[in-house]
Amino acid sequence: MISSIIFTVLLLATAVIFARRIGEIRANINLGRDQDISDNKSERWKTMARVALGQSKMVTRPLAGFMHIFIYVGFVLINIEVLEILIDGIFGTHRLFYSVLGSEVYYTFIGIFEILALLVLIACVVFLVRRNIGKLKRFSGTEMTSWPKSDANIILIVEILLMLALFQMNAADSVLFMLNDTIVAAAGLDHYTEIRFDSWFWVSGFFTGYLPNDPTTLFYIERACWWFHILGIFGFLIYIPYSKHFHIFLAFPNTYYSRLEPAGEFNNLESVKKEVELMMDPNQDPFAAPAPAEGETTAPQRFGAKDVTDLSWKQLMDAYTCTECGRCTSECPANQTGKLLSPRKIMMDTRDRVEELGKHKRANGAEAKDGKALLNDYISPEELWACTTCNACVQACPVNINPLSIIVDLRRFLVMEESKAPNELNMMFTNVENNGAPWQFAQADRLNWKDE
Ligand code: SF4
Ligand code: SF4
* Residue in 395, 397, 400 to alter for ligand 2 test, most ligand atoms within 8 A of Cβ: 397
What distances in angstroms separate CA 47 from CA 39, 402, 425, one per listed residue? 13, 15, 37
Asked, colleague to colleague, whether 2-30+61-255 and 261-282+298-421 share their fold, the answer is no
Instruction: For the beta carbon of residue 189, count every other beta carbon within 10 angstroms.
Output: 17
| Ligand 1, CB within 6 Å, residue ranges | 331-334, 341, 343, 387-393, 403-404, 407
What digits encode the pLDDT tens for the residues 302-357? 899 999 999 999 999 999 999 999 999 999 999 999 999 999 999 999 999 999 99
Residue owning the nearest CA to atom 2 of ligand 1: 387
CA dihedral 10, 84, 181, 175 (to 10 degrees): -90
The neighbour count for residue 102, using CB atoms within 10 Å, is 10
**Maximum mean pLDDT: which of 196-200, 367-371, 375-379:** 375-379
- Would you place residue 194 in the very low, low, confident or very high pLDDT band (cuts 50, 70, 90)? confident
Which range is least confidently modeled, 188-197, 235-244, 294-303, 335-344?
Answer: 294-303
The answer to whether 403 and 343 are in contact (CB under 8 A) is yes
Ligand 1 atom closest to 389 (CA): 1
Tell the CATH topology of 2-30+61-255.
Answer: Fumarate Reductase Cytochrome B subunit (1.20.950)
375, β-bridge pairs: 379
Q: Which amino acid is at 90?
A: I
Please, which pLDDT band fits residue 247 given cuts at 50, 70 and 90?
very high
According to the model, what pLDDT value does residue 300 have?
Answer: 61
Spatial CA neighbour of 158 closest among 113, 127, 115, 112: 127
In this prediction, residue 293 has a pLDDT band, given cuts at 50, 70 and 90, of: low
As a whole number of Å, the end-to-end CA separation of the chain is 97
Length of the chain: 452
Decide if pLDDT at 393 tops 90: yes
| 409-434 pLDDT, tens digit each | 999 999 999 999 999 899 999 999 89
pLDDT in tens, 158-182: 999 999 999 999 999 988 888 888 8
pLDDT at res. 289: 63
Q: Is the pLDDT of residue 209 over 90?
A: no
Q: Domain residue spans in the chain?
A: 2-30+61-255, 261-282+298-421
Q: Into which CATH architecture does domain 261-282+298-421 fall?
A: Orthogonal Bundle (1.10)
